[in-house]
């Protein structure tokens, strides 16, 4: 068994224009002060990170990691959630997602998609330069507008969508293979890869690519009423990253999974700060330890009620309290009477 690393913090929800969240030096000092040992970096945020430079310069990457290390922080992974989203966008979402891209490609879906692929490729190269083995992204979505089959979906619609999604990602996965980096898709509503079944549909189409893996986040499964503990055992060989995020689902006679277009605070399913929701993290950390997961436990703060800075500080302690330092011996070793093959055969009555 292996011990999970952590706690770490995803910085996407914290980067801002005010100190200490507006520079790499100050935000890593703040994260360390909160009790974190690592941070996951949003590669799109120029206030913290220069993706183009990191993809080309090992020296820049060493300096970037070195500054964090001087503040007591390790770089755990890079994220391309926003850029990965743009690898596949249904036209219904063109206007909504243009804001994720460089202004030069706004209003031009083909150019935007090419830009997104280049961004993810750069992040993989940067990960290799930093000697980081895992990278997190979203898959994007072509079929999501048709997730509920009314009117009935035409035969082959979903299959065509997944064929195209796989074709777009295959060169990126091959680049990841060339750089010894795993792509970990965050399984997430709004993405075509939003549960185990859809992940398997995609995995089959990329020929079970070794670099096609998962980021496990139980909060997205609570809101889908999916068994998030069973999921760990099913996909243990593909789970390479872990977001520690809490959630709750409280259906009523008025709303359920879809939550009636309500804002987060009024939804039946909503994200909560760690310890304030319904996720059984003791069971999750136990399964992770039993399954030899040795990656990072990364807090992703998303809560409709609690202040993010309070959630971050509480989250660091929460994860520290849940990490299991795995044992190197059995609890009943004291009763080991010693044996050998001859003794074993004798005990079994084998002559």
CATH topology of domain 5-347: TIM Barrel (3.20.20)
The percentage of residues in the chain with a pLDDT greater than 70, rounded to a whole number, is 98
Q: For 232-248, what is each residue's pLDDT tens digit?
A: 999 999 999 999 999 99
- What letter would DSSP give residue 142? S
Q: Minimal CA–CA distance to 238: which of 207, 211, 206, 205?
A: 211
Number of Cβ within 10 Å of residue 133's Cβ equals 14
Average pLDDT over residues 11-15: 98
Q: For 207-229, what is each residue's pLDDT tens digit?
A: 999 999 999 999 999 999 999 99
What's the pLDDT score for residue 334?
A: 59
Q: Measured on CA atoms in the order 143, 190, 86, 165, is the torsion positive or negative?
A: negative
Average pLDDT over the chain reads 96
Do residues 1 and 326 touch, judged by C-beta distance below 8 A? yes
pLDDT of 77 over the 80 cut: yes
Domain boundaries, the chain: 5-347
Q: For 309-328, what is each residue's pLDDT tens digit?
A: 999 999 999 999 999 998 87
Q: For 155-209, what is each residue's pLDDT tens digit?
A: 999 999 999 999 999 999 999 999 999 999 999 999 999 999 999 999 999 999 9
Q: For 325-350, what is each residue's pLDDT tens digit?
A: 988 776 666 567 677 888 888 888 99
Q: For 19-54, what is each residue's pLDDT tens digit?
A: 999 999 999 999 999 999 999 999 999 999 999 999
Beta bridge partners of 297: 242
Q: Inter-axis angle of helices 109-129 and 157-178, to 10 degrees?
A: 30
Distance CA 236, CA 177 (A): 20
């Amino acid at each position: 068994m292996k011990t999970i690393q952590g706690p770490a913090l995803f910085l996407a929800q914290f980067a801002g224009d005010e100190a200490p969240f507006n520079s790499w030096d100050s935000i890593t000092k703040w994260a360390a002060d909160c009790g974190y040992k690592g941070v996951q970096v949003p590669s799109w945020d120029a206030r913290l990170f220069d993706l183009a430079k990191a993809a080309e310069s090992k020296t820049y990457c060493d300096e970037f990691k070195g500054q964090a290390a001087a503040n007591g922080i390790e770089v755990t992974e890079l994220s391309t959630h926003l850029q990965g989203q743009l690898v596949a966008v249904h036209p219904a979402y063109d206007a909504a997602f243009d804001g994720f891209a460089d202004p030069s490609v706004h209003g031009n879906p083909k150019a935007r998609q090419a830009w997104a692929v280049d961004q993810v490729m750069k992040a993989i190269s940067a990960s290799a330069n930093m000697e980081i083995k895992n990278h997190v992204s979203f898959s994007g979505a072509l079929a999501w507008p048709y997730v509920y089959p009314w009117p009935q979906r035409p035969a082959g619609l979903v299959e065509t969508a997944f064929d195209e999604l796989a074709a777009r990602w295959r060169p990126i996965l091959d680049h990841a293979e060339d750089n010894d980096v795993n792509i970990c898709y965050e399984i997430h509503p709004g993405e075509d890869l939003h549960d185990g079944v859809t992940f398997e549909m995609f995995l089959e189409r990329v020929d079970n690519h070794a670099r096609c893996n998962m980021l496990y986040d139980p909060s997205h499964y609570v809101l889908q009423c999916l068994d998030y503990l069973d999921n760990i055992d099913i996909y243990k060989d593909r789970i390479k990253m872990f977001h520690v995020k809490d959630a709750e689902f409280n259906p009523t006679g008025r709303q359920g999974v879809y939550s009636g277009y309500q804002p987060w605070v009024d939804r039946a399913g909503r994200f909560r700060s760690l310890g304030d929701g319904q996720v059984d993290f003791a069971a999750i950390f136990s399964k992770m330890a039993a399954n030899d997961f040795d990656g990072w436990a990364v807090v992703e703060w998303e809560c409709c009620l609690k202040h993010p800075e309070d959630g971050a500080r509480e989250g660091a302690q929460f994860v520290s309290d849940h990490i299991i330092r795995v044992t190197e011996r059995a609890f009943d070793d004291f009763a080991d009477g010693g044996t050998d093959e001859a003794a074993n055969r004798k005990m079994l009555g084998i002559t």
